[in-house]
Structure 1
């Protein structure tokens, strides 16, 4: 059996509410985890938002859409550098997760271990 990656351990810790794991809105976390492409990214719930990153250590990539919300209503925001700020609002967690997937760059995922930017051998 293969050893868990940092991304897999992080998702498991959040989903299973293990000691030391970050906490987020369960419905949003579960909806994001249900999406295969999002499950391959590093999850970082904080302050009512679920950000996803292409890497596992600070500094984060911060170049992907993210979700803010709860079980009833979510907003999907574009990355900070994007001209269009809100990608969708009044969404269910599942709709929000699907919208994030729809706005991921084609070359996105799985997350690599380490800080941003990616090692040169990953960008060649």
Structure 2
């Protein structure tokens, strides 16, 4: 018998559009879930964006890029909206751009609150 991790369950519920899951752009969620490095992070749709975290509970890591759904494009922002990393035409390109900007030490999300040291 296998047990789903919090990350696996959250991705599954988002992809299935489960009634108890947060709402987000289904195309962005599907494209991001197809990227193995993103699939191991905790997905968090909020305010028209898909955020990725290194942990599964508040306080969040907040140090990874996010995808914003625009009217005709997808925008990828650096952590904490520091800068626009790119504007692309498809959710697949947006997901790939996030992967390209993940820190080298970014691995699977840890259960619980973020305890890492983040720069201001």
Q: TM-score by structure 2 length?
A: 0.91
Superposed displacement of residue 34, structure 1: 0.5
What does the per-residue CA deviation read over 1:52-92, in whole Å, with 9 as the maximum and x for residues that have no partner?
Answer: 0000000000000000016952000000174xx00001331
Relative to its length, the structure with more strand (as a share) is 2
Q: How does 1:46-57 map to 2 (within 5 A)?
A: 46-57=46-57
Question: Which structure 2 residue ranges, 5 or more long, are not aligned?
Answer: none
CA distance in 2, matches of 1:46, 1:80: 14
Specify every segment of 5 or more residues in structure 1 that has no aligned partner in the other structure, as ranges: 119-124
Aligned-partner SS, 1:56 = strand
User: Residues 70 and 93 of structure 1 are in contact (CA less than 8 Å); yes or no, is this contact kept in structure 2?
Assistant: no
CA RMSD of aligned residues (A): 1.6
Moved more, 64-73 or 104-113: 64-73
The aligned length equals 116
TM-score by length of 1: 0.88
